[in-house]
Amino acid sequence: MPITDCKIHGESWIVEMCEHLHKDLEKGIYQTYFELPVMITRMCLKCAEKYDLQQIIDAATYYSEKDNTWNITRNYGIIKKKYPDMPKRIDFIYRDIMKNRGWKCTSCIEQIQLNYARKNNLELPFKPYENTLMNENDIDEYELAEHIENSNDKIDCYVEFGTPSTPFKISIHGKVSTEEKQMIMKTIDTYFEKISRKQRVVNFSDH
């Protein structure tokens, strides 16, 4: 999946899609989509019907005895064994959609989906984390990690920016006592006193 430098969410994954889905998202409209197997390209119902996507999905579906689930493969080899000409068809559809395709940052899509649900009184698609740190413009993550590590020489600290559906994560690695964890948490809480976006999750690991 390609990456972009989103003005709102910083370095983010992007999703490619048909022009119709993209136009709707630009208008703040979130609609059900279908994914082209292997290429992971989204398309609207109209495009799915145009390219007979269901037939391709059926060709790409396989049963996993290990997980006891039906899955859609991203592996051309599995599809080709059952339908030798199907990979060429998938390639053709992908190239055809790419002629007028659009793309969006995944976090931007989540925010549009959330706003659309609220506007239309629909059930929220996920627990929102809009008050969380989402990119390097919000905070210097290396400074924060170093600040936390300086509070205890037994730990390593890693941080991960959040999205509208996931909180900012702080991971602490190292064997520390309950009292030391409390001191580390106090260090983090004090640091966040000067930050407006306070939603976060802190995880401790002995490894």
pLDDT per position as a tens digit, 82-117: 788 888 888 999 999 999 999 999 999 999 999 999
| Contact (Cβ atoms closer than 8 angstroms) between residue 157 and residue 148 | yes
Q: What is the pLDDT averaged over residues 19-28?
A: 97
- At residue 1, the pLDDT reads 62
Instruction: List all residues 6 or more positions away from 199 whose beta carbon is below 8 Å from its beta carbon.
Output: 129, 130, 131, 132, 162, 167, 168
- Please tell me the distance from the alpha carbon of residue 25 to that of residue 187, in angstroms, as a whole number: 41
Give 103's strand partners. Answer: 16
Pick the CATH number of 141-205 from 3.10.100, 3.30.70, 3.90.550, 3.30.1330: 3.30.70
- On the question of pLDDT at 27 being above 80, the answer is yes
Instruction: List all residues 6 or more positions away from 16 whose beta carbon is below 8 Å from its beta carbon.
Output: 2, 39, 40, 41, 42, 97, 98, 101, 102, 103
pLDDT per position as a tens digit, 129-153: 989 998 877 888 999 999 999 999 9
Per-domain residue ranges of the chain: 3-119, 141-205
